[in-house]
Amino acid sequence: MDGNQTNIVTLFFLVAAVLIFLKLRSVLGRRTGDEAARFERYRAEQAAAEAQAARQAAQTGKPDSKVVTLPRRERDVPAEVPRAQESDAERAQRMTQYAGGNASLASGMISVASADRSFDPTEFVRGAKVAYETIVTAFAKGDQGTLRMLLGPEVFEGFAAVIEQRAARKETVEQSFVGIKGAELTQAGVDGRVAHVTVRFVSDLITATRTLAGEVVAGDPKRVREVTDVWTFERDVTSTSPNWLLVATQAAA
Protein backbone atom coordinates (compact mmCIF):
# COMPACT_ATOMS: atom_id res chain seq x y z
CA MET A 1 0.00 0.00 0.00
CA ASP A 2 1.42 3.41 -0.99
CA GLY A 3 2.26 5.49 2.10
CA ASN A 4 0.98 8.68 0.43
CA GLN A 5 -2.46 7.12 0.21
CA THR A 6 -2.60 5.94 3.78
CA ASN A 7 -1.97 9.04 5.92
CA ILE A 8 -5.13 8.16 7.81
CA VAL A 9 -5.87 4.51 8.50
CA THR A 10 -9.53 3.58 8.88
CA LEU A 11 -10.59 1.02 11.46
CA PHE A 12 -13.82 -0.93 11.47
CA PHE A 13 -14.69 -3.08 14.41
CA LEU A 14 -17.21 -5.63 15.62
CA VAL A 15 -18.02 -6.93 19.08
CA ALA A 16 -18.77 -10.64 19.65
CA ALA A 17 -19.31 -10.66 23.43
CA VAL A 18 -22.49 -8.59 23.49
CA LEU A 19 -23.57 -9.92 26.88
CA ILE A 20 -20.91 -7.71 28.42
CA PHE A 21 -23.33 -4.83 28.17
CA LEU A 22 -26.50 -6.74 29.00
CA LYS A 23 -25.03 -8.45 32.06
CA LEU A 24 -22.70 -5.94 33.64
CA ARG A 25 -23.33 -7.56 36.98
CA SER A 26 -20.78 -10.15 35.92
CA VAL A 27 -18.12 -7.49 35.37
CA LEU A 28 -16.19 -6.14 38.33
CA GLY A 29 -17.19 -2.57 39.09
CA ARG A 30 -16.03 0.09 41.47
CA ARG A 31 -16.98 3.40 43.00
CA THR A 32 -14.38 6.10 43.34
CA GLY A 33 -16.48 8.91 44.76
CA ASP A 34 -15.88 11.21 41.79
CA GLU A 35 -18.33 9.69 39.31
CA ALA A 36 -20.29 12.91 38.92
CA ALA A 37 -17.17 14.97 38.21
CA ARG A 38 -15.88 12.45 35.71
CA PHE A 39 -19.26 12.28 33.99
CA GLU A 40 -19.35 16.08 33.65
CA ARG A 41 -15.85 16.04 32.17
CA TYR A 42 -17.02 13.39 29.73
CA ARG A 43 -20.05 15.44 28.68
CA ALA A 44 -17.84 18.47 28.05
CA GLU A 45 -15.40 16.41 25.98
CA GLN A 46 -18.27 14.82 24.05
CA ALA A 47 -19.73 18.23 23.22
CA ALA A 48 -16.35 19.43 21.96
CA ALA A 49 -15.94 16.28 19.85
CA GLU A 50 -19.40 16.68 18.33
CA ALA A 51 -18.66 20.31 17.48
CA GLN A 52 -15.43 19.27 15.78
CA ALA A 53 -17.25 16.54 13.85
CA ALA A 54 -19.84 19.05 12.69
CA ARG A 55 -17.11 21.38 11.43
CA GLN A 56 -15.44 18.53 9.55
CA ALA A 57 -18.76 17.43 8.06
CA ALA A 58 -19.40 20.97 6.83
CA GLN A 59 -15.98 21.07 5.20
CA THR A 60 -16.27 17.67 3.52
CA GLY A 61 -19.95 17.88 2.65
CA LYS A 62 -20.51 14.39 4.11
CA PRO A 63 -22.52 14.92 7.31
CA ASP A 64 -23.74 11.32 7.37
CA SER A 65 -20.34 9.68 7.18
CA LYS A 66 -19.85 6.88 9.73
CA VAL A 67 -16.20 6.22 8.88
CA VAL A 68 -13.99 6.03 11.93
CA THR A 69 -10.53 7.38 11.13
CA LEU A 70 -7.30 7.47 12.99
CA PRO A 71 -6.28 10.94 14.19
CA ARG A 72 -3.06 12.31 12.72
CA ARG A 73 -0.45 13.83 14.96
CA GLU A 74 0.92 17.04 13.50
CA ARG A 75 4.46 16.07 14.45
CA ASP A 76 4.10 12.93 12.31
CA VAL A 77 3.08 14.69 9.12
CA PRO A 78 6.59 15.53 7.84
CA ALA A 79 7.67 11.90 8.43
CA GLU A 80 4.87 10.26 6.42
CA VAL A 81 6.71 10.00 3.08
CA PRO A 82 10.12 9.00 4.52
CA ARG A 83 8.44 6.36 6.68
CA ALA A 84 7.06 4.65 3.57
CA GLN A 85 10.65 4.35 2.38
CA GLU A 86 12.24 3.26 5.65
CA SER A 87 14.53 0.28 5.62
CA ASP A 88 13.72 -3.07 7.19
CA ALA A 89 16.17 -2.29 9.98
CA GLU A 90 14.62 1.11 10.69
CA ARG A 91 11.14 -0.37 10.73
CA ALA A 92 12.21 -3.16 13.06
CA GLN A 93 13.83 -0.68 15.41
CA ARG A 94 10.68 1.44 15.53
CA MET A 95 8.49 -1.56 16.39
CA THR A 96 10.97 -2.87 18.96
CA GLN A 97 11.08 0.48 20.74
CA TYR A 98 7.29 0.57 20.93
CA ALA A 99 7.11 -2.99 22.32
CA GLY A 100 9.60 -2.26 25.08
CA GLY A 101 10.78 -5.55 26.52
CA ASN A 102 8.05 -7.69 24.95
CA ALA A 103 9.99 -9.63 22.34
CA SER A 104 6.95 -11.56 21.09
CA LEU A 105 4.97 -8.35 20.53
CA ALA A 106 7.94 -6.71 18.81
CA SER A 107 8.33 -9.66 16.44
CA GLY A 108 4.62 -9.65 15.64
CA MET A 109 4.52 -5.93 14.96
CA ILE A 110 7.57 -6.16 12.72
CA SER A 111 5.71 -8.78 10.66
CA VAL A 112 2.61 -6.56 10.41
CA ALA A 113 4.61 -3.43 9.54
CA SER A 114 6.56 -5.34 6.90
CA ALA A 115 3.34 -6.56 5.28
CA ASP A 116 1.58 -3.21 5.65
CA ARG A 117 4.00 -0.28 5.58
CA SER A 118 1.26 2.14 6.67
CA PHE A 119 0.98 0.37 10.04
CA ASP A 120 1.92 2.49 13.04
CA PRO A 121 1.12 1.00 16.48
CA THR A 122 0.59 4.33 18.22
CA GLU A 123 -1.85 5.58 15.61
CA PHE A 124 -3.55 2.20 15.45
CA VAL A 125 -4.31 2.25 19.17
CA ARG A 126 -5.52 5.85 19.02
CA GLY A 127 -7.92 4.99 16.23
CA ALA A 128 -9.00 1.81 17.98
CA LYS A 129 -10.06 3.87 20.99
CA VAL A 130 -12.30 6.02 18.79
CA ALA A 131 -13.84 2.95 17.18
CA TYR A 132 -14.31 1.24 20.55
CA GLU A 133 -16.47 4.07 21.87
CA THR A 134 -18.37 4.31 18.58
CA ILE A 135 -19.31 0.63 18.58
CA VAL A 136 -20.13 0.36 22.27
CA THR A 137 -22.37 3.42 21.98
CA ALA A 138 -24.02 2.24 18.75
CA PHE A 139 -24.80 -1.14 20.29
CA ALA A 140 -26.39 0.44 23.35
CA LYS A 141 -28.54 2.65 21.11
CA GLY A 142 -29.47 -0.23 18.82
CA ASP A 143 -28.04 1.71 15.88
CA GLN A 144 -27.80 -1.10 13.33
CA GLY A 145 -27.03 1.31 10.50
CA THR A 146 -23.78 2.40 12.12
CA LEU A 147 -22.92 -1.12 13.25
CA ARG A 148 -23.47 -2.53 9.75
CA MET A 149 -20.80 -0.17 8.45
CA LEU A 150 -18.35 -1.02 11.20
CA LEU A 151 -18.81 -4.75 11.77
CA GLY A 152 -18.08 -7.88 9.79
CA PRO A 153 -21.19 -9.55 8.32
CA GLU A 154 -21.30 -12.66 10.51
CA VAL A 155 -20.82 -10.90 13.82
CA PHE A 156 -23.13 -8.09 12.74
CA GLU A 157 -25.87 -10.71 12.45
CA GLY A 158 -25.25 -11.76 16.05
CA PHE A 159 -25.19 -8.17 17.20
CA ALA A 160 -28.38 -7.37 15.35
CA ALA A 161 -30.08 -10.44 16.81
CA VAL A 162 -29.40 -9.23 20.35
CA ILE A 163 -30.69 -5.75 19.49
CA GLU A 164 -33.86 -7.21 17.98
CA GLN A 165 -34.43 -9.47 20.97
CA ARG A 166 -34.06 -6.46 23.22
CA ALA A 167 -36.59 -4.58 21.12
CA ALA A 168 -39.01 -7.53 21.22
CA ARG A 169 -38.87 -7.42 25.01
CA LYS A 170 -39.39 -3.64 24.76
CA GLU A 171 -36.19 -3.04 26.69
CA THR A 172 -33.94 -0.03 26.24
CA VAL A 173 -30.34 0.58 27.26
CA GLU A 174 -29.30 3.81 28.92
CA GLN A 175 -25.57 4.29 28.66
CA SER A 176 -23.02 7.00 29.33
CA PHE A 177 -19.50 6.35 28.07
CA VAL A 178 -17.41 7.99 30.78
CA GLY A 179 -14.10 7.32 29.08
CA ILE A 180 -11.30 4.94 28.16
CA LYS A 181 -8.77 4.60 30.95
CA GLY A 182 -6.31 2.58 28.93
CA ALA A 183 -5.73 0.92 25.57
CA GLU A 184 -2.71 -1.31 25.04
CA LEU A 185 -1.58 -3.26 22.02
CA THR A 186 -0.80 -6.75 23.32
CA GLN A 187 -0.31 -9.07 20.32
CA ALA A 188 0.30 -8.83 16.58
CA GLY A 189 1.25 -11.04 13.68
CA VAL A 190 0.60 -12.10 10.10
CA ASP A 191 -0.90 -15.39 8.88
CA GLY A 192 -0.55 -15.65 5.14
CA ARG A 193 -1.96 -12.43 3.77
CA VAL A 194 -3.94 -11.58 6.91
CA ALA A 195 -2.49 -9.29 9.59
CA HIS A 196 -3.95 -9.39 13.09
CA VAL A 197 -3.55 -7.04 16.05
CA THR A 198 -4.95 -7.38 19.59
CA VAL A 199 -5.73 -4.43 21.87
CA ARG A 200 -6.71 -4.51 25.54
CA PHE A 201 -9.17 -1.76 26.53
CA VAL A 202 -10.10 -0.61 30.03
CA SER A 203 -13.10 1.73 30.08
CA ASP A 204 -15.56 3.30 32.51
CA LEU A 205 -19.26 3.00 31.67
CA ILE A 206 -22.55 3.90 33.28
CA THR A 207 -25.21 1.58 31.87
CA ALA A 208 -28.63 0.23 32.70
CA THR A 209 -31.22 -1.84 30.84
CA ARG A 210 -34.84 -0.89 31.50
CA THR A 211 -38.18 -2.50 30.74
CA LEU A 212 -41.00 -0.60 29.08
CA ALA A 213 -42.28 0.20 32.58
CA GLY A 214 -38.91 1.71 33.50
CA GLU A 215 -37.72 -1.11 35.75
CA VAL A 216 -33.95 -1.66 35.75
CA VAL A 217 -33.25 -5.30 34.87
CA ALA A 218 -29.49 -5.03 34.35
CA GLY A 219 -26.77 -2.57 35.26
CA ASP A 220 -27.04 0.49 37.49
CA PRO A 221 -27.86 3.99 36.18
CA LYS A 222 -25.98 5.58 39.11
CA ARG A 223 -22.82 3.55 39.13
CA VAL A 224 -19.63 3.77 37.09
CA ARG A 225 -18.32 0.35 36.17
CA GLU A 226 -14.88 -0.53 34.95
CA VAL A 227 -14.94 -2.89 31.95
CA THR A 228 -11.96 -4.62 30.38
CA ASP A 229 -12.22 -5.93 26.81
CA VAL A 230 -9.62 -7.66 24.65
CA TRP A 231 -10.31 -7.17 20.94
CA THR A 232 -8.47 -8.71 18.00
CA PHE A 233 -8.59 -7.02 14.60
CA GLU A 234 -7.48 -8.33 11.24
CA ARG A 235 -6.94 -7.04 7.73
CA ASP A 236 -6.10 -8.57 4.37
CA VAL A 237 -2.84 -6.76 3.58
CA THR A 238 -3.22 -7.45 -0.14
CA SER A 239 -6.51 -5.57 -0.25
CA THR A 240 -6.71 -1.98 -1.45
CA SER A 241 -9.11 -1.31 1.42
CA PRO A 242 -7.42 -0.04 4.59
CA ASN A 243 -10.26 -1.39 6.76
CA TRP A 244 -9.59 -3.61 9.80
CA LEU A 245 -12.29 -5.92 11.13
CA LEU A 246 -12.60 -7.06 14.71
CA VAL A 247 -12.65 -10.86 14.59
CA ALA A 248 -12.48 -11.83 18.26
CA THR A 249 -13.30 -10.25 21.59
CA GLN A 250 -13.47 -11.27 25.21
CA ALA A 251 -14.14 -9.62 28.54
CA ALA A 252 -11.35 -9.81 31.10
CA ALA A 253 -11.56 -9.31 34.86
pLDDT digits (tens, 9 = 90+) for 125-180: 998 998 899 988 999 999 999 888 777 777 788 889 999 999 999 999 999 999 99
Q: What angle do CA 229, 47, 176 make, to 5 degrees?
A: 35
pTM of the model: 0.67
Q: Report the candidate in 8, 12, 221 with the shortest Cα–Cα distance to residue 119.
A: 8
pLDDT digits (tens, 9 = 90+) for 174-209: 999 999 999 999 999 999 999 999 999 999 999 999
Q: How many domains does the chain divide into? A: 1
Q: 68: left (phi > 0), else alpha (psi -120 to 50), else beta?
A: beta
Length of the chain: 253
Cβ neighbours of residue 158 under 8 Å, at least 6 residues apart? 16, 18
Q: What CATH number is associated with residue 244?
A: 3.10.450.240
32: domain range?
Answer: 3-252
pLDDT of the residue at 64? 47
pLDDT digits (tens, 9 = 90+) for 45-55: 555 655 565 55
Q: Report the candidate in 135, 221, 236 with the shortest Cα–Cα distance to residue 175.
A: 221
